[in-house]
Copies of this chain bind each other. A is one copy, B any other.
């Protein structure tokens, strides 16, 4: 059972409890970054769906439709990365405001195809709907399929006490720098899993504090991260609370993963990719998620990232 971190996690855990999926037919069910379906023997496919709303995930009064549609693909691509899988194809459904027509659909298409081409994930279908009333906002939903990469999909529930906790890139301040244009770590995830055995992984979409709590809850581990080791982005450093920004801003879309010490040594020695990997702490069996400050203080790391239900 998944620990109830916030209201979104609580209802997701409830859905997972209800689902009664056969682990044979569905190796991964509700509650991870993607679900996995076994089609035949060892052939499986993974699926993720993400809905993005004008005024929540982007703002069409400031951003272009091309950029919004591009982001909608990146979010799902980041889910593929989170499980170290290879994106295959996407379908996109849209709800158009009354005033939208062919011109806007071609802009949406442009954004989707830009990401599709960049990450070799084909657009293969979709659905077009239109609001009847005025004043209703643009919605775009991308569903993406991926296949296994170098190993079984890396799940949230495989962390072990003693694991080294790592993140890719830098955290915090995404809203001011890469709100609509970030790099889903598809390539990095495949490279990492080629080099080392990874025990748990997810992408940081709602903030390190909450997403680390999710890995710990699903893996039934505790964790302690060190404040001084967290790679804080330049954008976050400019904010009034840089550490808070790195812990809680969300939408970093970096990888958060854990692996055994010896595997980490191998990864460190062989890692040639330009995206940095930083050790931020260790999994433990304390049952708590804590943060250690430079002065030696240890506090509970409160999961205060983005709650989609709040």
Chain A residues engaging chain B, CB cutoff 8 angstroms = 7-8, 10-12, 14-15, 18-19, 21, 25-26, 29-30, 34-35, 37, 39-40, 43, 45, 47-53, 55-57, 88-89, 91-96, 101-102, 105-106, 109, 113, 122-133, 135-137, 139, 141, 143, 145, 147, 308-310
Contact = CB atoms under 8 A, between A and B. Distances in A.
Contacts of A48: 91, 125
Contacts of A132: 55-56
Contacts of A133: 55, 137
A137 B137 CA distance: 9
Given A7-B101, A56-B130, A127-B50, A91 B143 contact: yes
24 contacts: A8-B128, A11-B102, A12-B128, A18-B113, A19-B122, A25-B122, A35-B91, A35-B124, A35-B125, A39-B147, A45-B145, A49-B92, A49-B125, A49-B127, A50-B127, A53-B129, A53-B136, A55-B132, A95-B139, A96-B309, A127-B141, A129-B308, A130-B309, A130-B310
B109 A37 contact: no
B93 A34 contact: no
B56 A131 contact: yes
Given A18-B113, A39-B39, A89-B37, A51 B123 contact: no
The 7 closest A-B pairs by CB, nearest first: A143-B143, A51-B93, A35-B124, A35-B125, A141-B141, A49-B91, A43-B43
A143 B47 contact: yes
A51 B141 contact: yes
Contacts of A52: 129
Contacts of A12: 128
A28 to B, nearest CB: 8
Given A53-B95, A122-B26, A145 B89 contact: no
A229 to B, nearest CB: 32
Contacts of A96: 309
A91 B7 CA distance: 20
A141 to B, nearest CB: 4
A179 B49 CA distance: 26
A15 B128 CA distance: 12
Given A48-B125, A53-B129, A55-B133, 16 more contacts: A12-B128, A14-B106, A15-B123, A19-B122, A26-B89, A29-B124, A30-B126, A39-B39, A40-B43, A43-B43, A47-B91, A47-B124, A49-B91, A52-B129, A93-B143, A127-B141
Contacts of A109: 15, 18
A125 B53 contact: no
A256 B126 CA distance: 21
Contact of A50 (B53, B89, B93): B93
B141 A93 contact: yes
Contact of A124 (B19, B102, B128): B19
